[in-house]
Structure 1
Amino acid sequence: MDWLREELTTLAFCWRVERTDGVAIGLTSHDRDLLVDGLVHRASPGMTPSAIRREAGLDADTSDVAGALSAAAIGEADLLAGRWDGARVALFAVDWTDAARRVALGEGTIRAVELGDDGFTAELRGPTAALDRAVVEETSPECRAELGDRRCRVPMAGRRRFVRVVGAEGPTLTVDAAEPAADAYGGGRLRWFGGANAGLEAGVARSAGATLRLRAPPAFAVEAGALVELVEGCAKSLAVCAGRFGNAVNFRGEPFLPGMDLLTRYPGA
């Protein structure tokens, strides 16, 4: 890194942002576009990072990146819709005369996003932020596994289907196929493959026949005929696990464990 000690440095900040849906963009504080690792980093002088501090400790590392909203890169509608939630961000300094000269400054994932009159501010959480999580799970009457994961082990191949939306009113959607079982998609997921919401996911609160009620209204207007994928859900109770899925042996909960209310019981209560 001798080039950083030169009397005249040609330094620029760069960001590589990779969304969870595979879209990747590059931004730089330089006044011209830079090609770094095959990705064109567009000149975006409005993008500025907060003070960056690198330490050897185990404290959770966070930083902020602020910038102006740009329809060509990061738009307000996409931020509000959650397209950038969880996106991986790599921040580095580069010599704009030689892109091979660069210094990694940190990386993380986008968490809290705040919008203002002048643009947006995004919080970046680094890898050590994972140390804030609980070391072991807490007991619960409901199953702590997710339907189809390595602990649940329910095969999901036949529990996904593509349907088309034929009507929408707020968080309520009507599709062109009925559910295979009562409330089959309650607690499940809906993925948009068509229309303005393409690429987004939504949680399903409950389902009945060909009607779905989402946990929140779609971010954008729903077009009739939009293609969606429905993934079955689970109520996470032992009764549903045993009755509907025949999977009680893999139930990850403690439905018969006495709760804190046991301490308040007394004769005659």
Structure 2
Amino acid sequence: MKDIPPALAASLAGGVTTLARCWRLTRRDGVVIGLTEHDDDLTVDGTLFRAASGASGSEDASALGFAVGGGEMSAALTSELIDAADLDAGRYDGAGIELILADWSAPEHFLRLRRATLGEVRRSEGSFTAELRGLSSALNMVRGRLFTAGCDADLGDGRCRIALAAPAFTGHGTVSAAEGPGLIVAAGLGAYAAGGFTQGRLIVTSGANDGFATEVKAHTVSTGTVRLELWQRPPAPLAPGDAFTVTAGCDKSFATCRDRFANTLNFRGFPHMPGNDAVLRVATPGRP
């Protein structure tokens, strides 16, 4: 049960209301953007909420227990507020959102209705629609150890202990050609065997996509030509001469940890643990 400020409660009790919803987005890099459904800009709780975005929202859904509540909000894509390139680059992934109900005739009277995080984003014809996930969505995150055959550490972290910055596992190259939105011909990686950067991470360090990072889907070498296929297309087309840094990947299997990284002492999986096949196995005459 929320306590409504007396001044706002008095406005709600009146015959005519002057209310508007406001959405405050806080990106993980600290950038704050305010959007409102009102037809004029509002300054509420120290944040300027812009009306030019044409923001609107759906009804919120919530339930008892640990079910994840949510809703949706939509707005126009504008270079001044939310740019399509920033969405493509993942700068709004996991952004925090506050839904505020304000009296536009007296913006100092407001009520914070809920907090959420930004989920899936859909784009169409110059606008976007974002899924709002309730705070209980954080309970879906894995905590603690995973008992699986594969390793549950990340390559190069404190549990894996591989020195990922070593030249054997980090390459610096440039784009020779772009054969598609997420497929490049790379220069400077000729010393690395095919597959070494598969499931690794690539960070663009120059050009229009400076700072963009994504995982590598495939690293292939054919007749001396090195190609990297990316899981996520960059905001702008990659151009010849764009520099990047790419780190090795790992499929988290015991064989890879042993044969490629010589790191079996730090393997964080259970390769000899019986799987579902052992649970479902039935007795067969003549077989152990």
Q: TM-score range by the shorter chain?
A: 0.7 to 0.9
Alignment of 1:1-269 (within 5 A): 1-6=5-10, 7=14, 10-20=18-28, 22-36=30-44, 39-44=47-52, 46-52=54-60, 57-76=65-84, 78-79=86-87, 82-96=90-104, 99-116=107-124, 119-133=127-141, 138-158=146-166, 159-160=169-170, 162-170=172-180, 171-178=182-189, 181-182=192-193, 183-208=195-220, 210-218=226-234, 220-262=236-278, 263=281, 266=284
- Would the alpha carbon gap of residues 45 and 184 (structure 1) be closer, same or farther in structure 2, given more than 3 Å must change? closer
Deviation above 6 Å: which 4+ runs of structure 1? none
The number of aligned residues is 269
- Would the alpha carbon gap of residues 100 and 194 (structure 1) be closer, same or farther in structure 2, given more than 3 Å must change? farther
- Describe the SS at the equivalent of 1:206: strand
Cα pair 2:36 2:54 within 8 Å, conserved: no
TM-score, length basis structure 2: 0.76
Deviations 1:222-242 (A, max 9, x none): 111223232322221223223
User: Which range moves more in the overlay, 198-207 or 92-101?
Assistant: 92-101
- Would the alpha carbon gap of residues 84 and 228 (structure 1) be closer, same or farther in structure 2, given more than 3 Å must change? same
Deviations 1:78-109 (A, max 9, x none): 54565433322222223446655432222222
Per-residue deviation at 1:43? 1.4
Per-residue deviation at 1:150? 3.5
Cα pair 2:53 2:76 within 8 Å, conserved: no
User: Which range moves more in the overlay, 57-66 or 46-55?
Assistant: 46-55
Per-residue deviation at 1:143? 1.1
Cα pair 1:10 1:96 within 8 Å, conserved: yes
Question: How far apart in 2 are the matches of 1:260 and 1:56?
Answer: 34
Question: How far apart in 2 are the matches of 1:114 and 1:140?
Answer: 34
Query: Aligned letter for 2:38?
Result: H
Taking only the aligned residue pairs, the percentage that are identical comes to 37
Deviations 1:42-78 (A, max 9, x none): 1146211222367774331211112334343334565
User: Which range moves more in the overlay, 44-53 or 121-130?
Assistant: 44-53
Question: How far apart in 2 are the matches of 1:245 and 1:197?
Answer: 31
**Unmatched runs of 5 consecutive residues or more in structure 2:** none
Task: Output the aligned Cα RMSD.
Answer: 3.3
- Would the alpha carbon gap of residues 52 and 261 (structure 1) be closer, same or farther in structure 2, given more than 3 Å must change? closer
Per-residue deviation at 1:188? 0.9
Question: How far apart in 2 are the matches of 1:151 and 1:172?
Answer: 32
Question: How far apart in 1 are the matches of 2:231 and 2:72?
Answer: 29
Query: Aligned letter for 2:239?
Result: E
Per-residue deviation at 1:125? 0.8
Query: Aligned letter for 1:172?
Result: L
**Unmatched runs of 5 consecutive residues or more in structure 1:** none
Cα pair 1:164 1:176 within 8 Å, conserved: yes
TM-score, length basis structure 1: 0.80
- Would the alpha carbon gap of residues 118 and 31 (structure 1) be closer, same or farther in structure 2, given more than 3 Å must change? same
Cα pair 2:26 2:96 within 8 Å, conserved: yes
Question: How far apart in 1 are the matches of 2:189 and 2:155?
Answer: 21
